[in-house]
Structure 1
């Protein structure tokens, strides 16, 4: 699979902690310019831009130009794919919790 194809995958896009932090910052604000995002990280503007590009390719971030400034905002709808995937496996957690509860009740008796 090519690097470009991987960067459009939502799971791959959120795998990096810096990108998850960018998502978090954008979720808290309606829209932020690149400068305001960059100052939140111990890296340069180019590195933050690369992370934002990966998020854009995954459809998680939208951008627009305002004069000479680029502003970014979150598009959370692709996160639904992750929520659906986790939800599918939550039935296993529920079953394990029920088993643990039964074990604890049996030990009490």
Structure 2
């Protein structure tokens, strides 16, 4: 079910539909489709994906279909993400502690003052090589 949740959330239109449902409960399909520059059947396909992922529920009253946000799959996704957030937070804290340690020399030696060393020449010069006969 987690795969379906993330697949549904991958599309910006579906995220916008969920955002509208989070601020206004029980919107009809027509009300949900209103701000989008797409056909009603296209919006219905997005709603089918959201419904299949369990992110919305639909209730039919007469000819009108109302949609409502369902929080369960989002809570499961948040629990899954929070485990990895803890992991990466700990890793970043360890990295920060390592960087903040006094591991750097107080008077670093500048390489620009040191004598430069030349690279040994290659046997052939760079570029196109022509053979002379």
What is the TM-score normalised by the length of structure 1? Answer: 0.81
Q: Which runs of 5+ in 2 are unaligned?
A: 105-133
Q: CA deviation at 1:106?
A: 3.1
Asked if 1:29 is matched to 2:24, the reply is yes
Higher relative contact order (CA 8 A, sep 6+): 1
Q: CA deviation at 1:12?
A: 1.2
Which structure's CA Rg is the greater one? 2
Q: Which runs of 5+ in 1 are unaligned?
A: 1-5
Q: Which stretches of structure 1, 4 residues or more, deviate above 2 A after TM superposition?
A: 103-107
**Which of 78, 84, 90 in structure 1 is aligned with 2:85?**
90
Report the equivalent of 2:66. 71
Q: CA deviation at 1:103?
A: 4.5
In terms of fraction of residues, the more helix-rich structure is: 1
Q: For residue 71 of structure 1, give the secondary structure of its aligned residue in structure 2.
A: strand
Q: CA RMSD in A?
A: 2.3
| Number of positions where the alignment pairs a residue of Structure 1 with one of Structure 2 | 103
